[in-house]
Amino acid sequence: MTITAPHPAPQRAPERAPRPRLRRVSYEPEPGAEPTDSLPTGQHTNFGPPALVPGARERSEAHHEILRILLTALEVLDRRRPAAQLAGCFAPAPLRCWQVAVMRRRPRSPARPGRMLLCMPRSGVAETALPCHMDGRVHALAARFEHSATGWRCTAIRIG
């Protein structure tokens, strides 16, 4: 008579949390239904009046001007220009932040910018992301600009 070891009980896979279910939300009235002009109480939209949405021409002009400012800022970071040249287009706090970044960096090669991405959440406000190749690494440069009577002005900047 041969003795065999009992078969181990089959193990169950750990139970997974149920997947969230998405439901369709209709933003337009069904055919034949009355359209409503107001939202139900408690709901908000992130969109302002149509006049506040920037047009293609405004986006193009903003892209050109902001890219020029950021290229100047990179030249300051490389110590090819004095930081005083940014005073007119940088608010005081981001200018101090940029001056600290200039002091910390020891450039071995000039910064090479990549393709700038521009987002305009509303007219007169722009947020940008710019990849920069510096000293063999890629860094991200993020900035926020606001338009005033004197032109575009950087109100926040960060390099990572």
Q: What percent of the chain is predicted at pLDDT more than 70?
A: 70
What residue numbers bound the domain in which 80 lies?
54-159
In a domain? residue 66: yes
21 or 102: which leads in pLDDT: 102
User: Please, what is the angle between helix 92-104 and helix 56-77, to 10°?
Assistant: 40
In a domain? residue 8: no
In a domain? residue 126: yes
158 or 29: which leads in pLDDT: 158
CATH number at residue 124: 3.10.450.50
Q: How confident is the model at residue 43 (pLDDT cuts 50, 70, 90)?
A: very low
In a domain? residue 27: no
Tell me how crowded residue 120 is: count the other CB atoms within 10 A of its CB.
19
Kindly state the average pLDDT of the residues 122-133. 92
- Residue-level pLDDT at 34: 60
In a domain? residue 76: yes
Helix (H) and strand (E) counts in the chain: 2, 5
In a domain? residue 124: yes
pLDDT in tens, 27-38: 545 566 665 544
In a domain? residue 87: yes
In a domain? residue 24: no
Give dist(CA 113, CA 132) in Å, integer.
4
Within the chain, what is the greatest distance between any pair of CA atoms? 99
How many domains does the structure of the chain reveal?
1
23 or 160: which leads in pLDDT: 160
Give dist(CA 160, CA 154) in Å, integer.
17
